[in-house]
A and B are shown apart, each in its own frame.
Chain A
Amino acid sequence: MSEKALAERFNEVVLPHLGDALSLARWLTGNAADAEDVVQDACIKAHAGMSGYAGGNPRAWLLTIVRNTSYTWMSRNRPRAMMAVGDLGDLDEMAAAHGTSLPDEDGPEASLIAKADAAALEAAIAGLPQPFRETLVLRDINGLSYRDISAMLAVPIGTVMSRLARARGLLASELGRAP
Chain B
Amino acid sequence: MTARDDGLPNDPEGIRLMIHALVDGELDAAAALAVERRIAADPALAAEHARILALQGAVSRLPRPAVSDAFLARIAAIGTASTEKAQGDEPQRAAPSALPGLIAGPAQQRRATDTRPSQARPTTRRFGSFDWRAMAASIVMSAVLASGATQWVMFKAASDSIAAEIAGDHRRSLLAASPIDIVSSDRHTVKPWLDARIGVSPPAPDLATDGFALIGGRVEVVSGRPVPALVYRHREHLITLVAEPQQGGRVTEPRDVSSGGFSMVHWSDGAFSYWAISDMERPELDDFVARFRKAAV
Partner-B contacts on A (CB < 8 A): 1-16, 18-19, 22-23, 26, 32, 35-36, 39-40, 43-44, 47, 51, 54-58, 60, 96, 99-100, 103-105, 107-111, 113-114, 116, 118, 121-122, 125, 136, 139-141, 144-148, 151, 158, 161-162, 164-165, 168, 171-172, 175
Given A2-B90, A3-B87, is A18 in contact with B72 using a C-beta cutoff of 8 Å? yes
Contacting residues, chain B, for A147 (C-beta < 8 A): 129-131
Contacting residues, chain B, for A32 (C-beta < 8 A): 65
> Does B67 sit at the interface, judged by CB under 8 A?
yes
Smallest beta-carbon distance B155→chain A, Å: 26
Name 22 A/B residue pairs within 8 A (Cβ), A-sorted. Answer: A1-B94, A3-B82, A3-B86, A5-B102, A5-B107, A7-B83, A19-B65, A44-B78, A55-B125, A56-B129, A100-B11, A100-B13, A104-B12, A104-B16, A105-B47, A108-B51, A110-B50, A114-B54, A139-B24, A162-B13, A168-B55, A171-B55
Contacting residues, chain A, for B104 (C-beta < 8 A): 5, 8-9
6 nearest CB pairs, A to B: A3-B86, A110-B50, A10-B79, A104-B44, A2-B94, A7-B83
Smallest beta-carbon distance B112→chain A, Å: 13
> Does B93 sit at the interface, judged by CB under 8 A?
yes
Contacting residues, chain B, for A18 (C-beta < 8 A): 67, 71-72, 75
User: Does B102 lie within 8 Å of A1, measured CB to CB?
Assistant: yes
> Does B261 sit at the interface, judged by CB under 8 A?
yes
Please measure, in the bound complex, the distance between the C-alpha atom of A20 and the C-alpha atom of B20, giving whole angstroms: 22
CB closest chain-B residue, reference A9: B104
Contacting residues, chain A, for B80 (C-beta < 8 A): 7
User: Does B67 lie within 8 Å of A19, measured CB to CB?
Assistant: yes
Please measure, in the bound complex, the distance between the C-alpha atom of A57 and the C-alpha atom of B17, giving whole angstroms: 25
Which residue of B65, B78, B86 has the most chain A CB atoms within 10 A of its CB atom? B65
User: Does B174 lie within 8 Å of A15, measured CB to CB?
Assistant: no
> Does B26 sit at the interface, judged by CB under 8 A?
yes
Smallest beta-carbon distance B19→chain A, Å: 9
Contacting residues, chain B, for A109 (C-beta < 8 A): 47, 51
User: Does B65 lie within 8 Å of A22, measured CB to CB?
Assistant: yes
Smallest beta-carbon distance B237→chain A, Å: 13
- Write out, one digit per residue, whether chain B residues 26-59 have a CB within 8 A of any chain A CB (1) or not (0): 1000000000000000001101101111111111
Contacting residues, chain A, for B131 (C-beta < 8 A): 57, 144-145, 147-148
Contacting residues, chain A, for B85 (C-beta < 8 A): 3
User: Does B86 lie within 8 Å of A121, measured CB to CB?
Assistant: no
> Does B60 sit at the interface, judged by CB under 8 A?
yes
> Does B64 sit at the interface, judged by CB under 8 A?
yes
Smallest beta-carbon distance B65→chain A, Å: 4
Smallest beta-carbon distance A50→chain B, Å: 9
Out of A2, A16, A23, name the residue touching B93 (CB < 8 Å): A2
Contacting residues, chain B, for A43 (C-beta < 8 A): 75, 78
Please measure, in the bound complex, the distance between the C-alpha atom of A122 and the C-alpha atom of B44, giving whole angstroms: 27
Given A13-B175, A18-B71, A148-B131, is A172 in contact with B20 using a C-beta cutoff of 8 Å? no
> Does B294 sit at the interface, judged by CB under 8 A?
no
User: Does B54 lie within 8 Å of A55, measured CB to CB?
Assistant: no
Contacting residues, chain B, for A10 (C-beta < 8 A): 78-79
